[in-house]
């Protein structure tokens, strides 16, 4: 089966150019000057559309057990929603809980995903307890399981928290075996003190989730992670869900010294705020409880993050998709913000929300594609199979219509959530067609794929490592 995608503007990390793309089976066979492609194959008319690599969401948590409940999107519902939004690969987090064997945690995630996913997927591994056994397991996962990145938490004491000694040991191991350390950089023990004090003062509304996680405690943890990585012979470090100006300053300073330090941000930090969303009346703000938290609109966070994306001090935009419904889930925290399960769901909307940054002249077309597809592919060892429209790559392709419009609502989204964090938002652009390994799974915005067609993708080492 071959398909010629004709008349479009291909956008890659080096910018836009007019070209026709020939897909043969599951891969891209050739990229032709306009009109030079062969006759014969089925033609998809891409006139007026951008032809971009399928987006890669390198940070999702489908059906993650967390906060006494489980994230509401399954691998079935979540990967279907992702596909409709132009994402053709996710990298989700398999979890080793305290006291659990790393490989058993990984096996559990393979069991959850088997036969469920609509698009391709890989795993990072969350290490819930760094000890001799899990350090040994890191080597095995890198060598034979296609897992080349490990997430550690400086937050959530008693749940996922690792102390500095454990972090250092994992970093030393990663420096040896070539893996990337991903860090949730917030000072958890200090945050727990602030939470206790707030609750004692009767401050129980959702906004106090943000007020008890001040940016200083994100910046401090970010800085500490950077120094620990330095001690571990410049172990590659990737700061996840960076939300705040002061944390970004730490990353910038390290990068300006040539350090092996990278960071991602998420759409919620680029657009939403502590006051307008987390501070919504009554319990409404629970919809936007996530960690790191939304930041104040009275400070320069959002402008600084957009700038960081332009300067490559922020390399990637992921969603940290971790949805919980209001009913029965977010509601667990009525009267006590600390019991609201942490997470926002945006896996369906990242491509659109970042395209709005292009329309608003905050990002170039090339940077849009780079931050949502090419860099995540390179950062996490999926490149050149994913993340680029080029001969030999998987035919994961999105036709994006800049003349279209997207209105986001719980009434029309496909994620398994009873609200939208983006209710009523209108985007100047629209995902029109999505191919995943050569199969048209979205056409004219309508879903045509099926569950179980997505494959596990073992990952190589990051090509960002020095």
Give the binding site for Zn ion (CB under 5 A): 184, 252, 256, 320
Give the total residue count for the chain: 466
CA torsion angle for 445, 426, 321, 335 (degrees, to 10)?
-140
Residues 180, 175: Cα–Cα separation, whole Å: 8
User: Tokens standing for 71?
Assistant: 């994230």
Q: Which of 124, 169, 184, 211 binds ligand URP (CB under 6 A)?
A: 184
Residue 323 contacts residue 415 (beta carbons within 8 Å) = yes
> Of the two residues 243 and 462, which places its CB atom closer to Zn ion in the complex?
243
Q: Which is closer to ligand URP, CB of 12 or CB of 323?
A: 323
Site for ligand URP contains 320 (CB under 6 A) = yes
Backbone angles phi, psi at 39, to 5 degrees: -85, 160
Residue where the block lists tokens 């959850």: 112
Positions in 218-277 near ligand URP (CB under 6 A): 241
Q: Which does 342 bind (CB under 5 to 8 A by kind): Zn ion, ligand URP, none?
A: ligand URP
Q: Is 318 in the site for ligand URP (CB under 6 A)?
A: no
SS3 298: coil
Nearer to ligand URP, 106 or 399 (CB): 106
CA distance 431 to 440: 13
Residue 7 binding result from Zn ion, ligand URP, none, given CB thresholds of 5 to 8 Å by partner type: none
How far is Cα of residue 219 from the mean position of the Cα atoms in its chain? 20
Residue 256 contact, options ligand URP, Zn ion, none, Cβ 5-8 Å cut-off depending on partner type: Zn ion
For residues 27 to 46, the per-residue mask of contacts with ligand URP, x marking binding by CB under 6 A and - elsewhere, is --------------------
**CA max distance for the chain:** 73
Radius of gyration, alpha carbons of the chain: 21
Rank residues 264 and 370 by Cβ distance to ligand URP and give the closer one: 264
Cα–Cα distance between 49 and 69 in angstroms, integer? 41
Closer residue to ligand URP, CB minimum distance, 10 or 185: 185
Taking CB under 6 A as the criterion, the residue among 291, 296, 416, 436 binding ligand URP is 291
Q: Of 370, 324, 418, whose CA–CA distance to 67 is shortest?
A: 324
Torsion of CA 223, 228, 232, 238, to 10 degrees: -50
Q: Counting contacts by CB under 6 A, is residue 290 touching ligand URP?
A: yes
For ligand URP, what does the binding mask look like between residues 83 and 112, x meaning CB under 6 A? Answer: ------------------------------
Q: Tell me if 359 sits within 8 A of 306, measured CB to CB.
A: no
Told to check if 285 binds ligand URP by CB under 6 A, we report no
Contact in structure between 68 and 47 (CB atoms under 8 Å): no
| Residue 343 binding result from Zn ion, ligand URP, none, given CB thresholds of 5 to 8 Å by partner type | ligand URP
Shortest Cβ 315–Zn ion spacing (Å): 12
Give the binding site for ligand URP (CB under 6 A). 61, 184, 241, 290-291, 320, 322, 342-343
């Amino acid at each position: 089966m071959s398909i010629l995608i004709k008349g479009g503007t291909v956008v890659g990390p080096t910018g836009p150019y007019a070209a026709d793309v020939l897909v043969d089976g599951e891969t891209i066979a050739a990229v032709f000057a306009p009109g030079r492609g062969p006759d014969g194959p089925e033609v998809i008319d891409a006139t007026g559309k951008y032809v971009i690599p399928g987006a890669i969401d390198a940070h999702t948590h489908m059906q993650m057990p967390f906060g006494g409940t489980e994230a509401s999107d399954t691998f079935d519902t979540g990967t279907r929603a992702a596909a409709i939004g132009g994402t053709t690969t996710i990298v989700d987090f398999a979890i080793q809980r305290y006291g659990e064997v790393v490989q058993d945690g990984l096996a559990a995630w393979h069991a959850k995903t088997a036969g469920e996913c609509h698009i391709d997927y890989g795993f990072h591994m969350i290490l819930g307890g760094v000890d001799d056994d899990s350090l040994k397991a890191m080597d095995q996962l890198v060598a034979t399981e296609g897992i080349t990145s490990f997430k550690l938490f400086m937050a959530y004491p008693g749940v996922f928290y690792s102390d500095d000694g454990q972090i250092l040991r994992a970093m030393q191991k990663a420096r040896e075996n070539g893996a990337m350390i991903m860090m949730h950089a917030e000072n958890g023990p200090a945050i727990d003190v602030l939470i206790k004090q707030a609750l004692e003062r009767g401050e129980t509304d959702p906004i106090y989730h943000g007020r008890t996680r001040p940016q200083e405690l994100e910046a401090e943890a970010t800085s500490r992670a950077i120094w620990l990585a330095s001690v571990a012979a410049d172990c590659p470090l990737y700061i996840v869900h960076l939300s705040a100006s002061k944390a970004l300053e730490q990353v910038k300073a390290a990068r300006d010294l040539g350090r092996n330090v990278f960071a991602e941000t998420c759409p919620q930090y680029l657009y939403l705020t502590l006051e307008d969303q987390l501070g919504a009346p009554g319990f409404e703000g629970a919809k936007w409880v996530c960690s790191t938290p939304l930041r104040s609109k009275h400070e320069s966070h959002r402008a600084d993050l957009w700038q960081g994306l332009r300067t490559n001090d922020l390399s990637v935009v992921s969603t940290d998709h971790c949805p919980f419904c209001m009913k029965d889930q977010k509601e667990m925290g009525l009267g006590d913000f600390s019991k609201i399960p942490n997470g926002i769901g945006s896996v369906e909307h990242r491509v659109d929300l970042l395209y709005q940054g292009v329309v608003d002249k905050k990002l170039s077309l090339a940077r849009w594609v780079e931050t949502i597809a090419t860099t995540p592919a390179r950062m996490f060892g999926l490149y050149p199979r994913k993340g680029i429209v080029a001969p030999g790559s998987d035919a994961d392709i999105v036709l994006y219509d800049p003349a279209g419009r997207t209105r986001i609502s719980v009434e029309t989204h496909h994620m398994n959530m009873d609200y939208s964090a983006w209710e009523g938002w209108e985007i100047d652009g629209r995902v029109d067609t999505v191919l995943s390994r050569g199969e048209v799974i979205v056409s004219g915005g309508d879903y045509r794929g099926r569950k179980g067609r997505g494959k596990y993708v073992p990952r190589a080492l990051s090509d960002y490592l020095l």
